[in-house]
A = this chain, B = another copy of it.
Amino acid sequence: MTLIAKTPTPPYYAVIFTSHRTDGDKGYSQMAERMFRLASEQSGFLGVESAREDVGITVSYWSDLESIKRWKENVEHQEAQKLGHKKWYSSFKTRITKVDRDYEI
């Protein structure tokens, strides 16, 4: 279960990962949970939001680009990314963004 992430005052960074899944779980749920936990232990991690209907959207928030790069290159995460390419996603798009402004109620 994810909530609205409690992020600090901008600027910070957001990685928007949008995907379509292949049919069947094939170990996806367990790995997704593991990756959520692992990401949240990384330095520079600020929070994550995730939902899936026709399309899945996961937005992770980071303090700086270096932390995003380190997470992308994390060995266990690399393994998950490979399986994502091969088994879990029929298509995806990753967008690296800088958050300049935010507001809320």
Contact = CB atoms under 8 A, between A and B. Distances in A.
Interface residues of A, number: 39
A66 B3 CA distance: 30
Main secondary structure of the interface of A (DSSP, over half): strand
A14 B94 CA distance: 12
Interface in A56-102: 56-57, 59, 85, 89, 91-102
A5 interface: yes
B91 A96 contact: no
A105 B7 CA distance: 29
A96 B102 contact: yes
A25 interface: no
Contact of A59 (B10, B57, B85): B57
